[in-house]
Amino acid sequence: MNRIPRDTSGEPNPLAVLTLDDLRLRTSEKWRAYPADVLPVWVAEMDVPLAEPVVRAVTEALAIGDTGYAAGTAYAEALAAFAERRWDWGGLAVGRTALVPDVMLGVVEMLKLVTGPGDPVVVSPPVYPPFYEFVAHMDRKVLEAPLGADHRLDLAALEEVFESAVAHGGRAAYLLCSPQNPTGTVHTEGELIAVAALADRYGVRVVADEIHAPLVAAGVRFVPYLSVPGGESGLSLMSASKGWNLPGVKAAVAVAGPAAAADLARLPGEVADGASHLGVIAHTAALREGVAWLDALLAGLDANRRLLSGLLAEHLPSVSHRAGEATYLAWLDCRALGLGDDPAQVFLDRGRVALSSGIPFGTGGAGHARLNLATSPDILTEAVRRMRTATA
Ligand SMILES: Cc1ncc(COP(=O)(O)O)c(C=O)c1O
């Protein structure tokens, strides 16, 4: 069942607007980490112009010098309205939200609320590498419950790891990536209910990173973790950052389920001051007025997923790739190419194309590379051509 309302207002495909020359003017990480002869299809930035309402809102703020600290609940209200329309979820209560500087700092703050130093945090690799880095940096211990070979949550593995996580009597958390970066897996309602039941059985607290939630393919249903039976004690991080390409104007919202409201209430007020006021303005405009742009983007991403599958089948048939249901990232199993544990390094050295190495994504990452397909069909085609050159 497709419950996603689609806007058919004729927005152009944002992925087909900018040329390589336009993009090379950018000074962000994607475009400056490598020399100019390298084609970057790695870090999660999109090669798109921004949605016009976002540009307008930020430009107006700059014009009147509205660059102080963020105030109020406009972002959370816009997110609640979006969640209701998009995911049919009316349970995002603005009174159980807090502004946070960005998703990862929000994750750190939520984990601080429900665990202490030395406590375990369970993750399901392959998963976004900063999950490891931030958790280690905050003096928690990472435990892995890897996804199955089908890229879906392995509930038996999760139960085993939850059991060992609490065996010594401390507190424990599960940091869920939903949808999953890098595989694009959209966890089903049934899977999330099972996670909630396991978490309840073992007393593990769930923190869900739902930053990729707006980026779900046509016909696929995203289910917010806090909306499922048993998810009431969960904490979620949501943001317009990935959906509208706004990591340079950072902000995010932490959301507590009804049974986690008291935990979120312990979050120091100072944390909200870390969010950029311009970020809050940009994200609020995106959620309120950027839905037609998002739908045009999603149509472009669907087309790029099909294009990538065709290009790989034609030029690199031994690369195994299951088209994801969400995100704009493609997780490529390159083991059959015989390029060793880090094929991204070979693609870079021999083909001058930068993908993300699979290794930092944890168990299951070796022999894999992550490709960012939020770019023009021309650049995507050139990226695969360069990958093939590297294997020749
Ligand atoms: C799963 C996930 N969480 C968090 C982030 C980073 O978000 P932020 O910049 O808001 O910390 C990313 C960025 O790609 C991501 O993929």
Q: What is the 3-state secondary structure (H, E, C) of 106-122?
A: HHHHHHHHHCCCCCEEE
Kindly state whether residue 189 falls inside one of the protein's structural domains: yes
Mean pLDDT across 88-110: 98
Q: What is the pLDDT of residue 6?
A: 42
The last residue of a domain, from among 289, 314, 337: 289
Asked if 99 and 337 count as a contact pair (C-beta separation under 8 A), the reply is no
Closest CA to ligand 1's atom 13:
44
Q: What is the pLDDT of residues 233-292, one digit of tens each?
A: 999 999 999 999 999 999 999 999 999 999 999 999 999 999 999 999 999 999 999 999
Atom nearest to 250 CA in ligand 1: 10
In this structure, the answer to whether residues 261 and 352 fall within a common structural domain is: no
Distance CA 222, CA 242 (A): 15
Residue 88 sits in a domain whose CATH number is 3.40.640.10
Give the pLDDT band (50/70/90) at residue 9.
low
Expressed in angstroms and rounded, the spacing between residue 206 Cα and the centre of ligand 1 is: 17
The percent of residues in the chain predicted with pLDDT above 90, rounded, is 94
Cβ–ligand 1 contact at 104 (below 6 Å) = yes
Closest CA to ligand 1's atom 7:
103
Expressed in angstroms and rounded, the spacing between residue 391 Cα and the centre of ligand 1 is: 31
Asked if 352 and 39 count as a contact pair (C-beta separation under 8 A), the reply is yes
- Buried/exposed code over 13-34 (b: 16+ C-beta within 10 A; e: otherwise): bbbbebeeeebeeeeeebbeeb
**333 alpha carbon, distance to own chain's centre:** 20
Distance CA 322, CA 164 (A): 32
In this structure, the answer to whether residues 342 and 279 fall within a common structural domain is: no
Query: Within 10 Å of residue 388's Cβ, how many Cβ atoms?
Result: 18
Which one-letter DSSP state was computed for residue 332? E
Distance CA 89, CA 392 (A): 50
Atom nearest to 329 CA in ligand 1: 16
Residue 305 sits in a domain whose CATH number is 3.90.1150.10
User: Which residue matches tokens 């207002």?
Assistant: 9
Kindly state whether residue 179 falls inside one of the protein's structural domains: yes
Give the pLDDT band (50/70/90) at residue 323.
confident
Would you say residue 362 has pLDDT above 60? yes
Would you say residue 318 has pLDDT above 90? yes
Mean pLDDT across 77-89: 98
Distance CA 332, CA 372 (A): 11
The last residue of a domain, from among 289, 324, 358: 289
Would you say residue 92 has pLDDT above 50? yes
Expressed in angstroms and rounded, the spacing between residue 211 Cα and the centre of ligand 1 is: 6
Number of domain units in the chain: 2
Q: Ligand 1 pocket: which of 28, 30, 181, 328 to mutate (most atoms <8 Å of CB)?
A: 181
Cβ–ligand 1 contact at 247 (below 6 Å) = yes
In this structure, the answer to whether residues 189 and 308 fall within a common structural domain is: no
Distance CA 26, CA 288 (A): 27
The percent of residues in the chain predicted with pLDDT above 70, rounded, is 98
Cβ–ligand 1 contact at 235 (below 6 Å) = no
Q: What is the pLDDT of residue 324?
A: 85
Q: What is the pLDDT of residue 322?
A: 85
Kindly state whether residue 361 falls inside one of the protein's structural domains: yes
Kindly state whether residue 341 falls inside one of the protein's structural domains: yes
Lowest mean pLDDT among 64-68, 122-126, 318-322, 351-355: 318-322
Q: Is 229 helix (H, G, I), strand (E, B) or coil?
A: coil
Cβ–ligand 1 contact at 252 (below 6 Å) = yes
Expressed in angstroms and rounded, the spacing between residue 331 Cα and the centre of ligand 1 is: 17
Cβ–ligand 1 contact at 331 (below 6 Å) = no
The last residue of a domain, from among 271, 289, 307: 289
Q: Ligand 1 pocket: which of 29, 103, 216, 331 to mutate (most atoms <8 Å of CB)?
A: 103
Q: Ligand 1 pocket: which of 75, 104, 356 to mutate (most atoms <8 Å of CB)?
A: 104
Expressed in angstroms and rounded, the spacing between residue 104 Cα and the centre of ligand 1 is: 6
Cβ–ligand 1 contact at 245 (below 6 Å) = no
| Long-range contact set of residues 107-110: C-beta below 8 Å, sequence gap at least 24 | 107/131, 107/134, 107/175, 107/207, 107/209, 107/237, 108/134, 108/138, 109/254, 109/267, 109/271, 110/207, 110/235, 110/237, 110/254
Tokens of 320: 């195994």
Q: Is 201 helix (H, G, I), strand (E, B) or coil?
A: helix
Give the pLDDT band (50/70/90) at residue 171.
very high
Kindly state whether residue 326 falls inside one of the protein's structural domains: yes
Cβ–ligand 1 contact at 109 (below 6 Å) = no
Q: What is the pLDDT of residues 173-230, one digit of tens each?
A: 999 999 999 999 999 999 999 999 999 999 999 999 999 999 999 889 999 999 999 9
Would you say residue 8 has pLDDT above 90? no
Report the predicted TM-score, pTM, of the whole model to 2 decimal places.
0.96
In this structure, the answer to whether residues 281 and 316 fall within a common structural domain is: no
Closest CA to ligand 1's atom 8:
103
Beta pairing class for 141-144 and 320-321: unpaired
Q: What is the pLDDT of residue 170?
A: 86
Cβ–ligand 1 contact at 239 (below 6 Å) = yes
In this structure, the answer to whether residues 331 and 243 fall within a common structural domain is: no
Would you say residue 302 has pLDDT above 50? yes
Kindly state whether residue 258 falls inside one of the protein's structural domains: yes
Cβ–ligand 1 contact at 211 (below 6 Å) = yes
CA angle 195, 200, 206 (to 5 degrees): 55
In this structure, the answer to whether residues 170 and 301 fall within a common structural domain is: no
User: Which residue matches tokens 């190419």?
Assistant: 337
pLDDT mean across residues, the chain: 96
In this structure, the answer to whether residues 275 and 299 fall within a common structural domain is: no
Atom nearest to 177 CA in ligand 1: 1
In this structure, the answer to whether residues 363 and 238 fall within a common structural domain is: no
- Domain holding 350, by residue range, is 14-51+291-391
Kindly state whether residue 8 falls inside one of the protein's structural domains: no
In this structure, the answer to whether residues 109 and 240 fall within a common structural domain is: yes
Compute and round to an integer the Cα radius of gyration of the chain: 20
Kindly state whether residue 9 falls inside one of the protein's structural domains: no
Give the pLDDT band (50/70/90) at residue 392.
confident
Expressed in angstroms and rounded, the spacing between residue 327 Cα and the centre of ligand 1 is: 11
In this structure, the answer to whether residues 261 and 317 fall within a common structural domain is: no
Q: What is the pLDDT of residue 1?
A: 33
In this structure, the answer to whether residues 207 and 89 fall within a common structural domain is: yes
Asked if 235 and 110 count as a contact pair (C-beta separation under 8 A), the reply is yes
Tokens of 213: 């939630």
Closest CA to ligand 1's atom 14:
44
Give the pLDDT band (50/70/90) at residue 5.
very low
In this structure, the answer to whether residues 46 and 64 fall within a common structural domain is: no
Q: What is the pLDDT of residue 4?
A: 37
Would you say residue 3 has pLDDT above 50? no
Would you say residue 46 has pLDDT above 80? yes
Mean pLDDT across 291-309: 97
Distance CA 106, CA 98 (A): 9
Amino acid at 138: M
